[in-house]
Amino acid sequence: MGFYIKVEPDVKIYVEDLNPDGCKTILFIHGWPANHKMFEYQFNKLPKMGYRCIGIDCRGFGNSDKPWNGYDYDTMSDDIRCVIESLNLDDITLGGHSTGGAIAVRYMARHNGYGVSKLALFAAAAPSLIQRPCFPYGLKREDVVKIIQDTETDRPKMLKGFGDMFFFQHVTEPLSDWFFQMGLQAAGWSTAAVAVTWLDEERLFSDLGEIGVPTLILHGIHDKVCLFPLAEAQHEGICNSRLVPFKYSGHGLFYDEREKFNKELVDFIEE
């Protein structure tokens, strides 16, 4: 069931709610530059197992409205709060992939984990996607600047290149095109604006220490986007966290090792 939730007077967020009567709820936040459809291989399975799965399209992406502003982590985490309040959600597992993981971390700190009893981070872009003087483990700043420039000059080419480095396991050409089309659904300005946020955002380091719920960290050791040391930093910074390396995955671990991904997530929810 798909519908819209108003998060600002002129901004609506698209929500897909699968198995609303499920026993336990998982709210998924997708990564850049995709949308909720990236979790297809979780949505195919988990509702059959009795779980309520809610996917959202972040502002600027998928079927959601695409305003000119609001692509910082504070605003995007406020959007998550609106969804949780509108649906009267409580005692949920909040899961975020890549930039969605960073938004989930900010949500936990900014909103004191409202409605969330467990957190799951999938190849999360935290505490920093890029290298900084105190954190030499991310991408080079100039590489992200090039992504922004390429987005503004030839976005389809940029998306194709990003897709080529996304998965570790072999994917078919049709699946690669499916992922590419998700990126095209976003607005060009929102795609670039979120990448600018990667450059400027430094508060996630302190946000990690604000997380007080059990946290599962799933991360591919071959990830070329959010390098594996980011997961180790998350594990070190979040009390009561568990890190599970995915030995045969890149950034798209939710597809590269989807059976393991689903099992680890379900086992965590049932703990």
Contact call for residues 237 and 208 (beta carbons, < 8 A): yes
- The residue from 79, 150, 207, 223 that is catalytic is 223
Q: What single-letter amino acid sits at 190?
A: S
223 catalytic? Reply is: yes
Regarding beta strands 2-8 and 92-97, do their DSSP bridges make them parallel or antiparallel, or are they unpaired? unpaired
Contact call for residues 23 and 50 (beta carbons, < 8 A): yes
36 catalytic? Reply is: no
- For every residue of 243-269, DSSP letters joined together read EEEETT--TTHHHHTHHHHHHHHHHHH
Residue 182 tokens read as: 């998700």
- The residue from 64, 98, 241, 249 that is catalytic is 98
At 159, which helix (H) or strand (E)? helix 155-164
Contact call for residues 217 and 234 (beta carbons, < 8 A): yes
The Cα-based distances of 220 to 176, 214, 230 in angstroms read: 19, 20, 11
CB count within 10 Å of CB 10 equals 8
Residue 34 tokens read as: 């995709």
128 catalytic? Reply is: no
Burial 159-178 (b: 16+ CB within 10 A, else e): beebbeebbbeebeeeeeee
- Active site residue ranges: 98, 223, 251
